[in-house]
Chains A and B, each alone.
Chain A
């Protein structure tokens, strides 16, 4: 399917707030309230039959380190363009704290991938995709365990990777890395 047809197909998906294309990948940002509708449409009408991955990301502190445009931007890397090096650039701000990205794959004669993304604040929940793709079960449990993102309607939303009585959600940016300070043999 050519890119233009794919784009037209994605315009028909309900609930899409924004479409981004970068690095030959399409991201459909969807309103969290209409996620199940959008995914069901993608599965039934567009044939995205495999849920590849659910990845949650925490953007707390995004942009604070103040990155330089040293290497370039997504648009290209022209080292000789005047002012392309050493400029302080801040990455594009994100709408909310958490993003949950669903990576879908179409297994069949016309392979394609798409990323469906929802944005959530702390404490907001999103509907579960287990009725659409049963593969979402453990992926959503992992997102809950690591980030504390609630999935409404999930049949078994308990911790999966951490011990059952663990407190906190480890992959959040305000959760410390942990571990022990390393002592060297010369010190006391």
Chain B
């Protein structure tokens, strides 16, 4: 296995033996009457959403923990079963609402896999560029909120300022800052506007300097180091056993990134590195996020070069049974009119089958299991949420931590409650 050789993070396994996701209090301690059960209820001051943690405290040390989720269960999967394929693309973006492009992308890739249509390369490269911009956006928000919770309050404003620049780019491309719903089965909903690549290049020129500034603020700062180094340890074996992926796995020493190891879209044609750190603590997860932002900038610049070369090429597949025909054709071609009518009223039909498409979202392995019965609506959509898996690791990661560290550890796992609860 490609694990970075280093000192072992800890011996053996720290996964709780009875229930992997619940850390039980040592029964001896319960008898002493020292255990205080505190409820970190759904309404947190931290902006991670509606997570409820039931924590047993022995003084300030954490003796037991259990995570209760479900406060944001929206029934995406059931709702999407009632919508046509076209309309249901609006829903996945709201699942992982920070990495919204990733969810739309995995769903649309699954539909395209079942349909078997070819996506033009301009759409593929544009999707890649937007996915990487989305990764930068997600990491910036993560950085801002994680630093805010640990006390580095000014990072919030710096990170969100850059984040607004990314959202401006999304607005330029798709019209909305958030939940762009820019991908469509077959390509993009619309072509990229002229001048998009120039704006992206301007942003990418400024971004590495921003990341350097953030690192200058936090990297050597004594308080930050004290609060993140050696906290929240997770070994590589435990991480794999608990289904972790993404930055959490890479910070534990496992060199695994779907973009490199199982490439999708055109990731095998771009040049980038995958940051891997070996200590498995909060500090390493933070470093992975920072390095990933830099690598994403590299990828976006390469995508811009390719997109400039492909200027004028189609941005959506030509298949009239799935994609709406261009409007000027509706005046002249009878078949186009019929296709348009069928697609808008009933929606296109996807052949029978089941697929599982996985991509590397900002949080890790995000997948879409899609079952189609050949009809106009999905039969079953299941989203593999990386945050769901990340939260399962809370009981393992928080061992030996104090209550103040729990905030740092929870922030470092980078979960989004919409993703967890779906």
Contact = CB atoms under 8 A, between A and B. Distances in A.
**Complex A–B touching at CB under 8 A:** yes
Interface in B1-58: 1-2, 15, 18-22
B373 A162 contact: no
A109 to B, nearest CB: 6
B243 A74 contact: no
Given A89-B374, A137-B21, A138-B388, A73 B356 contact: no
A103 B373 contact: no
A14 interface: no
Interface in A124-146: 130, 133-135, 137-139, 142, 146
Interface string A91-133: 1100000000101010111010101000000000000001001
**How big is chain B's contact interface, by range?**
35 or more
Interface in B194-243: 240-243
Interface of A: 22-23, 25, 27, 49-53, 55, 57-58, 62-63, 65, 67-74, 76-77, 79, 89, 91-92, 101, 103, 105, 107-109, 111, 113, 115, 130, 133-135, 137-139, 142, 146, 155-156, 159-163, 170-171, 177-178
Contacts, number: 152
Contacts of B266: none
8 nearest A-B pairs in the assembled complex, by CB-CB distance: A135-B243, A134-B20, A67-B374, A53-B384, A55-B382, A161-B70, A161-B73, A91-B352
Given A63-B373, A71-B321, A23 B349 contact: no
Given A91-B374, A161-B69, A101 B355 contact: no
Contacts of B330: none
Given A67-B349, A161-B69, A50 B245 contact: yes
23 contacts: A23-B113, A23-B114, A27-B354, A52-B358, A52-B384, A55-B384, A58-B380, A73-B351, A74-B351, A74-B353, A77-B115, A105-B365, A113-B358, A130-B20, A134-B20, A134-B241, A138-B391, A156-B21, A161-B421, A162-B73, A170-B75, A171-B77, A177-B82
Contacts of A89: 374
A92 B355 CA distance: 16
A135 B373 contact: no
Contacts of A50: 240, 243, 245
B242 to A, nearest CB: 5
Contacts of A171: 77-78
Contacts of A101: 354, 356, 369
B357 to A, nearest CB: 9
Q: Is the interface of A mostly helix, strand, loop or mixed?
A: loop
A23 B353 contact: yes
B338 to A, nearest CB: 12
Contacts of A67: 349, 352, 373-375
